[in-house]
Amino acid sequence: MTKTMRMSAALFAALIAGTAVPAFAQSGEVNVYSYREPGLIQPLLDTFSAETGIKANVLYAGDGLLERVAAEGELSPVDVVLTVDIGNLVGAKEQGLTQPITTPALTERLAPEFHDADGNWAALSLRARVFYVSKDRVPETALTYEDIAKPEWKGRLCTRPGDHAYNIGLIANRIAAWGVDKTRTWLTAVRDNLASAPTGNDRGQVKAILEGSCDLAIANTYYMGLMLNNDAEPEQKEWAASARIVYPDANGDGTQVNAAGAFIGKYAPNPENANKLIEFLLSDEAQQLYADANYEYPAVTSVKPAELTQSWGELKPSKVSLTETAGFRDEAAALVDELKFNEGPQN
Ligand SMILES: [Fe+2]
């Protein structure tokens, strides 16, 4: 089945080369660009195709897809773009790359904060950015964002570089909640509490907890599930087992979340099928498949997260909305630069 579902080799080559592409059939197909990996997306698309008879042609790429859609302009063959980070979703709308999603599922299935007010993007899953703390060295079961700026955390924090989209999202969320001045003071103290200059990815920070080089790492929730179940690299199971998750501000204003989501291309050749795909991705079945495969939180909140995800505690999302947070990305990036966050502790 998968062979016929895949984009033809010639078309794929044309897309990769960035040259003009042959016209897609006007019915029976939907063209997808996905930042998200095949292991996660292909089972969903196979189920969609089996249920609807609509063939899904997919181009997977780690980055550059929004740039590609922009460069293709009116000739873009893309119907649906699957991406991560609210910044990309809001950015696509701002760049005029989207058209409104018209399926009633958008508003029936998603709370208002999880879709664009004009329908230009839909969240499909949520990921929380949380604290991973050492099981051995950290007794606290509740922590706030302000706590990690306190002197008792000196030399004990670790995170990936501040200019990564995940940390920009976190800092932007703090600016939305606190304003720039308080966030600057906080981020300065967090920088000075780092064990060393930030480096590596989220999983690497949890490894650093096992190795004893830090006690509290800032990382996204789903990596706990991905590491605990990583049979290809079983050492990651030990990294994950050395830490437990604490949801920042769980007893206060809530934990920062980001979204993975979808939008329909402005020049989508198959808009009806694009809407059918979005409707499917918001169904209980797809939401459950997606949540179970990636340990993210379903954007449709009536669907339960995977059991493992639930075992980390209850997520209380930040009162600051996704779009409000996305609006402070530039200010967040400017603070990271100003404070030379990536150079590590300075006091
Ligand atoms: Fe990630």
Residues 210 and 289 in one domain: no
Span from the CA of 55 to the centroid of ligand 1 (angstroms): 28
Residues 205 and 217 in one domain: yes
Q: What is the mean pLDDT of residues 298-310?
A: 96
Span from the CA of 219 to the centroid of ligand 1 (angstroms): 9
Residues 9 and 114 in one domain: yes
Span from the CA of 20 to the centroid of ligand 1 (angstroms): 32
22 band by pLDDT with thresholds 50, 70 and 90? very low
CATH number at residue 205: 3.40.190.10
Q: What is the mean pLDDT of residues 90-105?
A: 97
Residues 197 and 325 in one domain: yes
- Quote the pLDDT of residue 225: 97
Summarised one tens digit per residue, pLDDT across range 159-210 is: 999 999 999 999 999 999 999 999 999 999 999 999 999 999 999 999 999 9
Range of the domain at 218: 127-256+310-343
18 band by pLDDT with thresholds 50, 70 and 90? very low
341 band by pLDDT with thresholds 50, 70 and 90? very high
Span from the CA of 157 to the centroid of ligand 1 (angstroms): 19
Residues 210 and 325 in one domain: yes
Residues 216 and 279 in one domain: no
Q: What is the overall mean pLDDT for the chain?
A: 92
Percent of the chain with pLDDT over 70: 92
Span from the CA of 260 to the centroid of ligand 1 (angstroms): 10
Span from the CA of 165 to the centroid of ligand 1 (angstroms): 10
Question: Which residues pair with residue 58 across a beta bridge?
Answer: 32
Q: How far is CA 223 from CA 34, 134, 158, in A?
A: 20, 15, 15
**Residue 194 corresponds to which tokens in the numbers above?**
């780092």
Bigger pLDDT: 7 vs 100: 100
Question: Which residues pair with residue 55 across a beta bridge?
Answer: 29
Residues 74 and 213 in one domain: no
Euclidean distance between CA atoms 187 and 174, whole angstroms:
9
Query: How many C-beta atoms lie closer than 10 Å to residue 192's C-beta?
Result: 18
- Quote the pLDDT of residue 27: 52
Q: Is the pTM for the entire model greater than 0.75?
A: yes
- Quote the pLDDT of residue 156: 98
Span from the CA of 121 to the centroid of ligand 1 (angstroms): 20
24 band by pLDDT with thresholds 50, 70 and 90? very low
Closest CA to 188 of 206, 171, 165, 164: 171
Span from the CA of 74 to the centroid of ligand 1 (angstroms): 31
Residues 188 and 220 in one domain: yes
Span from the CA of 272 to the centroid of ligand 1 (angstroms): 31
Residues 108 and 208 in one domain: no
Residues 158 and 134 in one domain: yes
Span from the CA of 230 to the centroid of ligand 1 (angstroms): 15
Residues 149 and 164 in one domain: yes
- Quote the pLDDT of residue 62: 81
Percent of the chain with pLDDT over 90: 89
Euclidean distance between CA atoms 43 and 266, whole angstroms:
26
- Quote the pLDDT of residue 63: 83
Euclidean distance between CA atoms 105 and 287, whole angstroms:
13
Span from the CA of 220 to the centroid of ligand 1 (angstroms): 7
Residues 201 and 334 in one domain: yes
Euclidean distance between CA atoms 89 and 86, whole angstroms:
5
Summarised one tens digit per residue, pLDDT across range 36-83 is: 889 889 999 999 999 999 999 999 988 889 999 999 999 999 999 999
1 band by pLDDT with thresholds 50, 70 and 90? very low
- Quote the pLDDT of residue 12: 47
Considering its fold, how many domains does the chain have in total? Answer: 2
At a CB cut-off of 8 Å and minimum separation 6, what does 25 contact?
none
